[in-house]
Amino acid sequence: MTKITDIKSRLIYNSRGSETIEVDVYADDIVGTASSPAGASVGKFEAVSFRNSKCQDTIEYLDKYKSHLIGADTSDIYNLKNILKEADKTDNYSNIGGSAAYAISLASVDAASQILNKPIYEILLNGKPAEMPLPLGNVLGGGMHAGNGSTDIQEFLSYPLGADSIRSGIQANLMVHKEIKKIIDKKDSKFSGGKGDEGAWAPQLSNTEALEVAQEAINTVSDIVGFEIRLGLDVASSSLWNPDKELYVYSRENKTRNTEEQIAYVLELIEKYNLIYIEDPLHEEAFSDFTQLSSKSDNCLIVGDDLFVTNTSILQKGIDQKAGNSVILKVNQAGSLGDAMEFANLCNKHNYAIISSHRSGDTVDRHLAHIAIGSGSVMMKSGVVGGERISKLNELIRIEETNFITNNMSMPIARVKKYVS
């Protein structure tokens, strides 16, 4: 019943209006469907999205290759990974295309979920207890997600640490998003309401001004909802790093920082704004610098995205050097779902916190909610507004209403506080 009988693929468009691939996996009359997201801030060690950098080439290749997948078990993500790897014969899915590997593996487990009458996360957990992540929301930003005049820091994030349910956590992030707009309007009467790729406000503010706005909004909403909300940042430092000059170039701030100054700046931000989370505070090859930063801060998640790119061998290097204490999990960085779950298993074995994340160019697929639970993530990073973001958040609400998970929302708080003092 769970065997693949056919695969069909098509070219569709993501939230940025860019081409991406959608795949239907058939198991007789059951159809599982998934489409691949894409990032703007892309690590150079990520899986290659498309064959020959073209979505249509990927689709045409998959049509020729799909016979190799016929008969495979839709629920066995690791066997699917092995079949895809064997056919691709590269380290980065440059032949098949990482987007195809992503869509095939997610569509397959989507079909298996229907056949087995089990939610996707339960298939991924394979008997392990399920724990809910809380939503991490992008509320203000700049960098590669927004236009000229916005901040160098790419994302200012709201995390509802004290929320007692998924719904209250989502609502708190929405309130922070709305409160930020009110504060910006008071500061800049000409603000047109511009947003970045992920729906975060993109005003013309300095980094410091944006930090103050985000912190004010979070404090205001924390008082209203009656529980603690904390600020996080995605610095996206690889986009700031100039390897020739060995400097972090904050062009919109007209300032440069060497490595020591960057570490000092990050530590200052952690302390001043009581940050619970800081992603990519240093560039994508700065393992020893991540180690140095991690040794100096024990009250904040030091998160590697471009550093680890959901790659198990690169993660092992970070574990060996004690670089950071947390990771971003993006399935399409790895390629297939099996690759990403092997990465998650290694994280959990070595006590690295997992944050399952959307991409800036995303689709309305809801699968991220299941990936977050199935991987044991402590947070799900999925934006705050926009249909492609809300689809993931609403799926968490649906899951919370089922009988599969005990609605004990102290669980994610306790899990996050394992990593921060």
Which pLDDT tens digit goes with each residue over 167-181? 999 999 999 999 999
Strands (E), 121-172: 134-141, 155-159
Mean pLDDT of the chain: 93
Which of 91, 117, 143 is at the close of a domain? Answer: 117
Domain check: are 222 and 355 in the same one?
yes
Could you tell me the CATH number of the domain that includes residue 11? 3.30.390.10
Does 82 fall in a domain?
A: yes
pLDDT at 143: 83
**Predicted confidence (pLDDT) at residue 348 exceeds the cutoff of 70:** yes
Residue 357, number of CB atoms within 10 A of its CB:
29
Contacts 24+ apart (CB under 8 A), 248-255: 248/283, 250/152, 250/207, 251/152, 252/142, 252/148, 252/149, 252/150, 252/151, 252/152, 252/206, 252/207, 253/152, 253/206, 253/207
* Domains held by the chain: number: 2
Please check whether residues 227 and 359 belong to one and the same domain: yes
Same domain, residue pair 158 and 72:
no
| Shared-domain flag, residues 227 and 351 | yes
Active site residues: 198, 330
pLDDT for the residue numbered 411: 54
CATH number for the domain including 379? 3.20.20.120
Q: What is the value of pTM for the model shown?
A: 0.94
pLDDT of the residue at 414: 61
Which pLDDT value is given to residue 409? 43
Strands 277-279, 19-27: pairing kind: unpaired
**What is the mean predicted confidence (pLDDT) over 310-316?**
96
Residue type at 346 in one-letter notation: L
Distance between CA atoms of 152 and 249, rounded to whole angstroms?
9
Same domain, 155 and 83: no
Domain residues for the domain of 245 are: 134-416
40 and 167 share one domain? no
pLDDT at position 4:
98
DSSP letter for 53, please: G
Closest to 310 measured CA to CA, from 322, 287, 326: 326
* Residue percentage of the chain with pLDDT more than 90: 81
Q: Mind listing the pLDDT tens digit for each residue in 175-232?
A: 999 999 999 999 988 888 889 888 999 999 999 999 999 999 999 999 999 999 999 9
Instruction: Indicate whether 325 belongs to any domain.
Output: yes
Q: How far is CA 192 from CA 185, 202, 382, in A?
A: 9, 10, 24
Of the candidates 73, 55, 95, 131, the one whose C-alpha atom is nearest the C-alpha of residue 338 is 73
